[in-house]
Structure 1
Amino acid sequence: MTFQINAVTVYGKHPGQVRTVPFHTGALNIVTGDSRRGKSALLTIIDYCLASSDYPVKAGKVRTYVSTYAITLSAPGRQLFVARQAPAAKKNVSTVLCLLPQAPGSPAPPIEELAFSTPLEAAKDILSDFCGIDRTVQVPAVARAQTIAPSIRHALYFCVQAQNEIANPDLLFHSQGEEWRPNIIRGVVPYFLGAVDPEQAALRHRLQLLRRELSELEAKLTVSRALGPAAGQALALLAEAAEANLLVRGDGEPSFEDALHLLASVLSGELSAGPPSERDDDPLAQAMARRSELRRAHGATRMRIADLKRALEENSDFAGQAGEQRSRLASLGLLRVNWQAAQVAQCPVCESPVTSATATMAAITRDLEQLSGDLQVISSDTPALQSQLARHEEHLQALRSALARNQDEINEISAGLRALQQEPDQAQRAAHVRGRISLYLDTVAQQPRTERVEDNRDQLRQQIAGLEAQLSDDTQDDRLTSYLSLISQRIRDKAQSLALDHSKSPIRLDVNKLTIIADTPDEGPIRLPDMGSAENHLGYHIATLLTLHEWFSEHSGPVPRVLMLDQPSQVYFPPDHTGDPTLQGNDLTQLLDVYRVIDDTVRSLDGALQVIVVEHADLADPVFHDHVVDRWRHSNGQALVPEEWITEPDGDS
């Protein structure tokens, strides 16, 4: 168990003004009341105190008359009081918090005892630790070149359903509609469900760091080559010097530093090729021949890169389709086998024998095993293909650099030959070449020399290949698929108890699309936005979040054991409803079913889950009435902000 919420406390702007709203842990808590009484502010206050980077409390009386917000968090044998001031004038948010460990059962302290000294990021780390989140784990962010350290902020995706989210067909999780949040949610889901092996996560993080280091090193080497003097010009001058009989040209291509040393030696007169002799070698022809070889190699490498990219795309497409098909075939688990009845399958609803399902089960099992084998082959091939692609792309870059140097050499040789043809004798030619070499060396001396970059790419590639080999057998994806299959079956059970549309078909939680999908036999897959009816949207939200919290509780998921819901009954009221908050007929039955499912789940978890609901409705049925902890109505003068704090005429709240 991580933590639940004992109370929400607000401090007024005048001495002695303190208001505390207590909650029961391990139970369903309902705060009902009229509009503009501060109900929804309870959830935004909890969000703000749990290290929010913005100020979610809406404008109104709460903002006007409250100076400090606080929550009391309760864990087994521990209690943590968290307070955060309202932003000062002209500031967007307060960046320091007060975190005060307390003995269990301690009340909120006076505001004079609060010391706001913990920076926001440090407070986030402390709250994450209090929640049981392993801060050493790094998980990759989907579609982003970075890793994520899961925190309390990520855990809240599964703990809050705001008023505009709880029945929204396009948003299943809290904050899903904000920029970049969907990819972050996809990235942290495996960790909170327990599918991430911490050791494997560390290896994945190390692999990502090495890949980034290799990419940065290649960029530095490219910049270093670009900022350095042209190596092709130095080679061309060596060829001219050989033509002018100033040196004997050796075999192979010297390094840039060696070329500079040879040119300096020619200029100082240390090197001489001896008397002129007839030579058959033509430096321009040799340079052109090297260019042809380089262009052929360049074309072959580009074709190989295109083939590798095509293979990776085919692997990715196949893996996506096969993974989706395997998820559908996983519904085989719905048919249970009666081992005392000669392997006869049983219906998951009435448990009667289904003898005709045996052959079907065998066929599905074979298909599932074949798909798993194909996916395993694809997962083992992909790292090797990626490694080959990286090597060929690097080779292509090297060929491009060589072609550039070769072009410089050709240009320089051509210019030198034209100039030499105008010289009347060998001595003048030699003097002309020495002059060109002198000018080149003077230019090189004036250019800034870049810091030498050590080329250890081979070592990095070896480490990357080793980690890829270690991770090739990682079963995280298989574990996640298995967990989601089990969770989806439970969501279906709750959906059936709420009589939701399509609940008789297999239901699955799709963490890639972040929605619920019903696999119907006639219409195919139907996503939540296409199901129609706000009752369905509300019901599937409730079924999904309750099921996830059951899973977190049973598997020690590091998520707060609290689910906060803002006005589930809004589905059954017209948008402009301002009258008596009561319901009749089928709407009342449907809403009571929602609360009955919530209450049954809370009771089945025996104190391991707390649900806080703020509501406009007020129902007489015990499943609702017995869990009301506060009523904030105009008729009784109750609200989050006491009337005696209000010093201005009534307005927006």
Structure 2
Amino acid sequence: MHLQIRSLVLWPRNEQFEPRVVSFAANKLNVITGASKTGKSAVIPIIDYCLGSDRCAVPVKTIRDACSWFGVVIATDDGEKLLARREPGDQQSTGDMFLLEGETIDIPHSVREKNTNVDAVKRMLDKLAGLSNLSFNPAAQGNNFKARPSFRDLLAFTFQPQNIVANPDVLFFRADTMEHKEKLRTIFPYVLGAVTPDVLARRWELDQLVREYRRKERELSAQRTASERWSAELQNWVSEARDLGLISSDSASPGQRPEQLLASLEEVVQKTSDDALVSDSALDAAAAETAGLDKEEGEISLQLAEVKVRLDNMTKLRSTVTDYTGALKKQRDRLQLSRWLRDLAGSTDATCPVCGGGLDHATDELDALCDALANVEANARQFEPVPAAFDKELVQVREQVRQFTDRLKGVRSRKQAIEARSTRIQRERWRRTAVDRFLGRIEQALIVLKTPDGDPALAAEVADLKVRLDQLRAGISDGAARERQKAALARVTATMARLLPGLDSERPNDPAELNIDDLTIRVTGRSGRPDFLWEIGSGANWLSYHIAAMLGLHDLFLSLKTSSVPSLLVLNQPSQVYFPRTLAKEAKEGDDPILGDEDIAAVRKIFVTLGAAAKASKGLQILVLDHASKDVWAHVDAHLVDVWRDGKALVPTDWLAS
């Protein structure tokens, strides 16, 4: 990701002063050299705060008392962006931010109000980095360690503050807390290019397909289990159909094959409860009358349904006409005012009765409104209201509904009376209900009985899902990701092996590799025993391995086709390991600790290595904040940003005086 710092900006509380702007060169080693307590160690916290940190780590008192806003101008592939954030005052942080975007940014004299917030800026940075919106593990929802990668996570590879740059226990920025350490372990395969956004998307698709496959497989298995159970009861279905009078006794004989039984049941589902009536029911007068009433009830129900549909349509038509007429009336009432205003405008020195302004300039608009009023009135005249014949027809239809409803109630009342008098009819009614229920059950049962292996369509879906799952698993195999990760780490190891001989390391030729499980460096000696960074003594060694690892990682990031990590590395006080503690204590405020000749040579190696790395990469910006003066690195390919000595510092002295 191309993201580099063009400028660091401080806005004073006293607006009579110009903002403090510290500018940097792109794609180069940039150096700010200065004495103690001049603000060098505040640069990383200011950049971090403007890039959306949850807390403000900018030192209190001098800097925060003098500044109202902090800002950085970043250069990206999408142009330049000014990200400014308000000094939090008594709070740990504030979400108030100010954003400017463009090809180039002109820094404003002051920032008075916010125009965005920190959450919006984080989303913008996530988008600029091209980060995936998907978490690393679809099954681990709610686990912050497995949550989607964010731009804030990537700053672990960007900053090496004073407490990290030569730390034997912590290699990466903010990895001294469990939360950030676990998240860093999670995102490492992603930043190394072993796990791509496409792989994450495939993992999510695979998770969804697995869920669907398991659900459909359970459904198919249930069908097959049910099929086996119902097949064993096939004879029972046929026997029940015989008892209800739906098939003959011959069709239910025990010697029939399953295919014959299924054929008999297929004939049964074509029948109705009327086909199951026993013949002697016709001899019962009550049963005959009930049958006639059933037929009459059906006819009346059909007629009633037709009349109800007609009534509904007529009611809807009347409602539509009423609504349309009301809408025309509202439009006409609203537009009536335009004619009065036009008449006023025709008189001399006419003024608006509402605002008192002249009306001569509004003639065209008033004419247009009057024309619209004329059109509305014309439409109203052309639209005919519902004729009286319609109301008459509507009354007749409602009367028909009432008549058919009364007739239906009468028929049902007669049926209930007959059934109450006739025990035989009650039994017959129960019998017909049982037949209807049986027919419904057997119709559903036949679907499975005819397909003992389950629904063929469902089986085809399960087979298709299985093929798609196999294809997805082949495309995102863990083995392939491990091979890509191994190759990426091998490149980092090779870069470290090339850089370490040029640094002040006691074991420059011992293989050193980045261990992403423990987030540290592992060095293998001649005996073959691996030593972790915390097992190796000397601050010079710790510093050398930190620098080699960071440069090795950025060399890898820049080689990837797409990388989300900013092409920026900021190191604070890398030369601190060469300052004797006694000399550092004796130095007065604002002085520099004294370096011996050997220490100067070691510090020069650091700047030579960083300058060469920035030049060779042609895309990496390195910022170094250090005590070492230009005399130490005079012949290094570097850009001197500023010298903070002799009263000059990050915060101008006149700001403090005011």
**TM-score bucket (shorter structure):** 0.5 to 0.7
- TM-score w.r.t. the length of structure 1 is 0.57
Contact 1:207 1:464 in 2 (8 A): no
Matched, 1:491 2:488: no
Residue type of the alignment partner of 2:571: L
Q: 1:541 to 1:211 in 2, by over 3 A?
A: farther
Query: Could you tell which deviates more after superposition, 537-546 or 116-125?
Result: 116-125
Contact 1:31 1:631 in 2 (8 A): yes
Residue type of the alignment partner of 2:567: R
Provide the rounded CA distance (Å) in 2 between the counterparts of 1:2 and 1:485.
24
Q: In the alignment, what sits opposite 1:110?
A: 109
Residue type of the alignment partner of 2:115: S
Q: 1:140 to 1:183 in 2, by over 3 A?
A: farther
Q: In the alignment, what sits opposite 2:68?
A: 67
Residue type of the alignment partner of 1:135: S
Matched, 1:180 2:179: yes
Q: CA deviation at 1:502?
A: 3.0
Q: 1:212 to 1:537 in 2, by over 3 A?
A: farther
Q: 1:497 to 1:617 in 2, by over 3 A?
A: closer
Provide the rounded CA distance (Å) in 2 between the counterparts of 1:24 and 1:95.
29
Provide the rounded CA distance (Å) in 2 between the counterparts of 1:8 and 1:126.
20
Larger Rg, first or second structure (1 or 2): 2
Residue type of the alignment partner of 2:25: H
Residue type of the alignment partner of 1:65: A
Provide the rounded CA distance (Å) in 1 between the counterparts of 2:167 and 2:543.
8
Contact 1:6 1:23 in 2 (8 A): yes
Q: CA deviation at 1:496?
A: 2.1
Q: In the alignment, what sits opposite 1:429?
A: none
Matched, 1:563 2:569: yes
Q: CA deviation at 1:584?
A: 2.5
Q: CA deviation at 1:574?
A: 2.3
Residue type of the alignment partner of 1:471: R
Q: In the alignment, what sits opposite 2:2?
A: 2
Q: CA deviation at 1:605?
A: 1.6
Q: Secondary structure at the match of 1:604?
A: helix
Q: Secondary structure at the match of 1:94?
A: coil
- 2:136 aligned residue (136, 139, 143): 139
Q: CA deviation at 1:136?
A: 2.8
Q: Secondary structure at the match of 1:21?
A: strand
TM alignment of 1:30-179, pairs within 5 A:
30-76=31-77, 78-89=79-90, 91-104=91-104, 106-112=105-111, 115-130=113-128, 132-140=129-137, 145=143, 147-179=146-178
Q: Deviations over 1:121-140 (max 9, x none)?
A: 2210102223x322334324
Contact 1:4 1:562 in 2 (8 A): yes
Q: Deviations over 1:341-383 (max 9, x none)?
A: xxxxxxxxxxxxxxxxxxxxxxxxxxxxxxxxxxxxxxxxxxx
Q: 1:159 to 1:211 in 2, by over 3 A?
A: farther
Q: CA deviation at 1:528?
A: 1.0
- TM-score w.r.t. the length of structure 2 is 0.56
Q: 1:208 to 1:502 in 2, by over 3 A?
A: farther
TM alignment of 1:204-215, pairs within 5 A:
204-206=203-205
Provide the rounded CA distance (Å) in 2 between the counterparts of 1:173 and 1:478.
24
Q: CA deviation at 1:55?
A: 0.9
Q: In the alignment, what sits opposite 1:448?
A: none
Provide the rounded CA distance (Å) in 2 between the counterparts of 1:56 and 1:471.
45
Provide the rounded CA distance (Å) in 2 between the counterparts of 1:543 and 1:10.
32
Q: 1:625 to 1:646 in 2, by over 3 A?
A: farther
Provide the rounded CA distance (Å) in 2 between the counterparts of 1:87 and 1:185.
28
Superposed CA RMSD in Å reads 3.1
Q: Secondary structure at the match of 1:8?
A: strand
Contact 1:509 1:517 in 2 (8 A): yes
Q: CA deviation at 1:214?
A: 13
Provide the rounded CA distance (Å) in 1 between the counterparts of 2:594 and 2:211.
59
Q: 1:468 to 1:631 in 2, by over 3 A?
A: farther
Provide the rounded CA distance (Å) in 1 between the counterparts of 2:158 and 2:493.
18
TM alignment of 1:269-280, pairs within 5 A:
none
Q: Secondary structure at the match of 2:581?
A: coil
Residue type of the alignment partner of 1:55: C
Q: In the alignment, what sits opposite 2:553?
A: 548
Provide the rounded CA distance (Å) in 2 between the counterparts of 1:487 and 1:603.
18
Q: Deviations over 1:551-586 (max 9, x none)?
A: 111214221111000000100002350254442222
Identify, as 1 or 2, the structure richer in helix: 2
Residue type of the alignment partner of 2:649: A
Q: Deviations over 1:138-172 (max 9, x none)?
A: 32499994532222211110000010000001111
Q: Secondary structure at the match of 1:646?
A: helix
Matched, 1:592 2:627: no
- 1:507 aligned residue (500, 512, 517): 512
Contact 1:10 1:19 in 2 (8 A): yes
Matched, 1:525 2:530: yes
- 2:473 aligned residue (453, 467, 471): 471
Contact 2:68 2:86 in 1 (8 A): yes
Q: Deviations over 1:462-486 (max 9, x none)?
A: 9899758733652112111111112
Q: In the alignment, what sits opposite 2:387?
A: none
Q: 1:63 to 1:584 in 2, by over 3 A?
A: same
Matched, 1:610 2:607: no
Q: Secondary structure at the match of 2:199?
A: helix
Provide the rounded CA distance (Å) in 1 between the counterparts of 2:540 and 2:469.
49
Provide the rounded CA distance (Å) in 1 between the counterparts of 2:143 and 2:211.
9
Contact 2:579 2:594 in 1 (8 A): no
Provide the rounded CA distance (Å) in 2 between the counterparts of 1:25 and 1:596.
18
Provide the rounded CA distance (Å) in 1 between the counterparts of 2:654 and 2:605.
39
